[in-house]
Amino acid sequence: MEYRRRAVGLGLLGTVFATRVHAATGSDLDEVLQLFRNVALGERGTGIYLEREKQTRALIVAQDVTDKGQPPQQVEYRFLRDLIKKEGSSRDSFYDPAQVRQLLSIPIATVEGRSLEGGRVYLRLSTLEGGVGQVLGLLHRYAHDRGIVLDLRGATGDDPQTLADLARLFVAKTPLFFSALNKNQQQPHPATVRPIAQEVPLVLLVDGQTRGAAEALAGGLQLLGRARVLGTKTRGDGFRTALYELPSGAAVRLAMGRWQTEDRASLSPVLPDQEVTTDPLTRAINLLAAQPPKPIAITVFPGQGRIGKYKLGFDAGTGDLGVAGLVEGFGPDKTRRLLRPGDDLKVWYLGDYTVFVYRPQSSLFTFFADRIYTTSSNAMTEAGITLGSTYPQVVAAYGGSEQNGYVERFPFPAGARGDTSDRYGVDYDALGLSFLFASGTNRVVGIGLFKPGS
């Protein structure tokens, strides 16, 4: 019987489904046996091999003898529950169609966030799924230059992309996480976002119910030396699970991987740097308060045309970096972009930097850097504007409408990776200084330089 696989967004679950076009009694068993063999993580990491003919005979006996007269599909469901309990891992489970509908209806959990005294912020996640955008929004809303407390007590998660992206907010290294899959294969999980708090002191709170991807997040950041971990030993459940739909609309959740580092070091369990059983949040706040503030040096110099490690106008060659995914190219198109519409454009995405390189019409091959943005958490202008500064603070420092060439202008062309509706841009044409703001909070999320008048 033919079948197709499809990915489905499941809110809290963030897992993958496989579904057949048509279903018949016994089809669920066939699918489970295939998943056991090809996807499930057996004790030796090589799958679970069960004889199909033997299991099919046992199902027929149950339907025709043991539970004769009962609906065959319901008998198959009970058979599969027993089979998974007997042969699968402790994380494996079976869901009938009604239970699947309940799972799909679970709303995305809300990330709790609040400001702490002294430029610190507290964030609490019950599950990693759906948390990246919420955490990012809270970091834009609240001052956090003196520290972040990330509370993962009781938290769980399964989605590898969410795990990778959450970690990436706090550390530049990617991929940091890998999955050990069936048949001892290893799958990397590179991040898709940029770090915005990689220099900020970070404390994680964990307990005996921190598990899954949340446990891997704590273990990975601790192992890298990026965060201090307080609380109690985590659950020790380093499994990555996924939910697979069966032909009848039922589903199975299977342990299909283990979270680990590139060198296959386990990320579970996590032993806290300080074991704290009573009021760990107060201990975390005191730990952050004891750390001296890290001074931020000026990194944006409009008069010199220098921002961080880059200087405007540098020769970018043909504009190609030789790394897939880091460069977007745009030909002359006056309908798609406001900036230099008659020239070829290539946009580089280089960690904390986004570089716009143009090939002027007078050049045959060579591109030149004309506009550079940084999203580094330690970036600061000569007027003291940093990531997280507010729109009123920027206007107070550099002027509002009709001052210093103020103009609201978004640099990314339509369809570019950076063309998102949650940001807007402000240029000061007389200074060659640019700022990107988060639309919801009106806080600075990017600082840029460009050639005045270009």
Residues 221-263: tens digit of each pLDDT: 999 999 999 999 999 988 999 999 999 999 999 999 999 999 9
Under the banding of pLDDT at 50, 70 and 90, the label for residue 453 is low
Distance CA 357, CA 377 (A): 23
Residues 430 and 311 in one domain: yes
Residues 68 and 93 in one domain: yes
- Whether residue 269 is preceded by a cis peptide bond, meaning omega within 30 degrees of 0, is yes
Is pLDDT at 415 greater than 60 in this prediction? yes
Where are the extended beta strands (E) located within 289-412? 300-301, 306-307, 310-311, 327-330, 344-350, 353-359, 368-374, 406-408
pTM of the model: 0.69
The predicted model gives 259-277 an average pLDDT of 93
CB 199 within 8 A of CB 375: no
The predicted model gives 271-282 an average pLDDT of 93
- Residue 118 domain flag: yes
CB 100 within 8 A of CB 129: no
Residues 25 and 149 in one domain: no
Does the CA dihedral 39-163-12-442 come out positive or negative? negative
pLDDT tens per residue across span 160-175: 999 999 999 999 888 9
pLDDT tens per residue across span 312-364: 999 999 999 877 778 999 988 756 667 888 899 999 988 789 999 999 888 88
Dump the DSSP string for 297-323.
Answer: PP-EETTTTEETTEETT-B-TTS--SS
pLDDT at 12: 37
Residues 137 and 261 in one domain: yes
Distance CA 390, CA 426 (A): 13
Residues 89 and 120 in one domain: no
Please list, in sequence order, all residues whose beta carbon lies within 8 angstroms of the beta carbon of residue 361, skipping any fewer than 6 positions away: 342, 343
Residues 10 and 67 in one domain: yes
The predicted model gives 67-83 an average pLDDT of 94
The predicted model gives 44-72 an average pLDDT of 90
Residue with tokens 């970036």: 379
Residues 147 and 90 in one domain: no
pLDDT tens per residue across span 395-411: 999 999 889 999 999 99
The predicted model gives 67-94 an average pLDDT of 93
Under the banding of pLDDT at 50, 70 and 90, the label for residue 144 is confident
444 closest CA partner among 430, 428, 423, 414 = 423
- Residue 91 domain flag: yes
Q: 216: domain CATH number?
A: 3.90.226.10
- Residue 412 domain flag: yes
Distance CA 31, CA 254 (A): 13
Residues 277 and 202 in one domain: yes
Is pLDDT at 20 greater than 50 in this prediction? no
The total number of structural domains in the chain stands at 3
* Token representation of residue 172: 């530049």
Residues 428 and 318 in one domain: yes
Is pLDDT at 15 greater than 80 in this prediction? no
- Residue 285 domain flag: yes
**How many angstroms from the chain centroid is the CA of residue 438?**
18
- Residue 294 domain flag: no
The predicted model gives 138-150 an average pLDDT of 87
- Residue 380 domain flag: yes
CB 11 within 8 A of CB 104: yes
* Token representation of residue 392: 């009123």
Under the banding of pLDDT at 50, 70 and 90, the label for residue 24 is low
Residues 318 and 352 in one domain: yes
- Residue 314 domain flag: yes
Domain end point (choices 75, 104, 133) = 104
Residues 139 and 276 in one domain: yes
pLDDT at 108: 86
Ramachandran class of 374: left when φ > 0, alpha when ψ lies in -120 to 50, beta otherwise: beta
pLDDT at 454: 58
20 against 76, higher pLDDT? 76
> Domain residues for 278?
112-240+256-289
pLDDT at 21: 36
Domain end point (choices 104, 125, 140) = 104
- Residue 247 domain flag: no
* Token representation of residue 165: 């992206």
Domain end point (choices 55, 82, 104) = 104
Residues 322 and 434 in one domain: yes
